[in-house]
Amino acid sequence: EIVLTQSPTTMTASPGEKVTLTCRASSSVSYMHWYQQRSGTSPKLWIYETSKLASGVPNRFSVSGSGTSYSLTINSMETEDAATYYCQQGSSYPLTFGSGTKLEIK
Amino acid sequence: EVQLQESGPGLVKPSQSLSLTCSVTGYSITSNYWGWIRKFPGNKMEWVGYINYSDNTSYNPSLKSRISITRDTSKNQFFLQLNSVTTEDTATYYCARLAGYWYFDFWGPGTMVTVSS
């Protein structure tokens, strides 16, 4: 099973700040996917196949990485970006998720 | 648009079976793959399993001996049955559509299931 480790676990950012979240895999994966989950709602596909923004995702979000290390970057933090972000790999079974990074607004 | 809705009992006794239904509208379950995911208290997320357009299934090995996913194409629904539940099966259960390189593009709102006597 591929274990995904996300860091940090929790972080706080000010409006306008650049934010980087990291997801590291225990083995190489071909693609990484990301989900945003706001409190009380279901996860929403945010970024798929490593770098493609899902419908409606603002372009201040970007992802880079390959192999075992991936990063999600928000160029300029906004209030609506406060949420928990999960990475997920589909390269091998079982499909696995990271433990999440909770991003709060300062 | 694709919409999914989970339904089922919110409370199950230990050793009993958990049965959930996912009702899909806006898309036929005879296409694509359809999965179950659960989120535990404390936020850990786990893929449970899926059923595909050909009625083939795949399950998380951690659950393989206790789980069954089936479907009713006439009602456009698919189902999760988890046997011999324990308190460790307490979670919010989501159904979702799988797409592309194995990501979940549409999710239901989730249903919370508590295992308790």
Q: Does A96 touch chain B (CB under 8 A)?
A: yes
For the stretch A81-99, pLDDT in tens is 999 999 999 999 999 999 9
pLDDT for the residue B46: 98
SS3 content of chain A, % helix, strand, coil (to 5): 5, 55, 40
| Residue B64 reports pLDDT greater than 90 | no
Q: How many CB atoms lie within 10 A of CB A23?
A: 29
For the stretch B65-106, pLDDT in tens is 899 999 999 999 999 999 999 999 999 999 999 999 999 999
- Residues found in chain B: 117
Do the beta carbons of residue B1 and residue B103 sit within 8 Å? no
**CA atoms within 13 A of residue B86's CA, in its CB half-sphere:** 3
pLDDT for the residue B112: 98
Task: Supply angle C-alpha B105, B54, B58, rounded to 5.
Answer: 65
- Find the mean pLDDT for residues A69-84: 97
pLDDT band at B14 (very low <50, low <70, confident <90, very high): very high
Do the beta carbons of residue B112 and residue B60 sit within 8 Å? no
Cβ–Cβ gap A33/B110 under 8 Å: no
Residues 6 or more apart whose Cβ sits within 8 Å of residue B62 = A94, B46
Measure B69 CA to nearest chain A CA, in Å: 16
pLDDT for the residue B111: 98
Q: In angstroms, how far is CA B10 from the centroid of its own chain?
A: 14
pLDDT for the residue B104: 98
For the stretch A3-40, pLDDT in tens is 999 999 999 999 999 999 999 999 999 999 999 999 99
Question: Considering only CB atoms, which chain A residues are within 8 Å of B61?
Answer: 1, 94
| Residue B42 reports pLDDT greater than 90 | no
Average model confidence (pLDDT) across chain B: 97
Q: Does B33 touch chain A (CB under 8 A)?
A: no
